[in-house]
Amino acid sequence: MPTPFPQRQPGPSIWTSRAKPKPNTLNSDWRCTRCDKLLGVCRDGRMHLRFAGGHEYLVGFPVQATCRGCQTLNQAAGPRVR
Ligand SMILES: [Zn+2]
């Protein structure tokens, strides 16, 4: 008996595949300083933010964002966070 709901894998996402380090990546994760939740990804000198509902933002530095997990206000002054 086939399963009525075939499991569909969503497209490859940088937000869920955290165990795949790319060797020559220019992207760097921007994580919450408190709970380490992923807030955005720095790419090409800008911060790529994604929010629930499919809204995506590409913003320049400095950037501030509130963590959805712990409500901590995080700030990134430049592409190199750490
Ligand atoms: Zn947090």
Q: What is the pTM of this model?
A: 0.61
- What pLDDT shows up at residue 9? 64
User: If you measure from the C-alpha of residue 2 to the centroid of ligand 1, how many angstroms do you get, rounded to a whole number?
Assistant: 41
User: If you measure from the C-alpha of residue 5 to the centroid of ligand 1, how many angstroms do you get, rounded to a whole number?
Assistant: 34
User: If you measure from the C-alpha of residue 35 to the centroid of ligand 1, how many angstroms do you get, rounded to a whole number?
Assistant: 4
- Residue 39, class by beta-carbon neighbours within 10 Å (0-12 exposed, 13-18 middle, 19+ buried)? buried
Residues forming beta bridges with residue 73, ordered by sequence position: 66
Cα–Cα distances (Å) from 59 to 11, 17, 42, 49, 63, in that order, read: 24, 22, 9, 8, 7
Interatomic CA distance for residues 76 and 81, integer angstroms: 6
pLDDT single digits (tens) 38-78: 999 998 889 999 877 888 999 999 999 999 999 999 999 98
Between 10 and 62, the higher pLDDT residue:
62
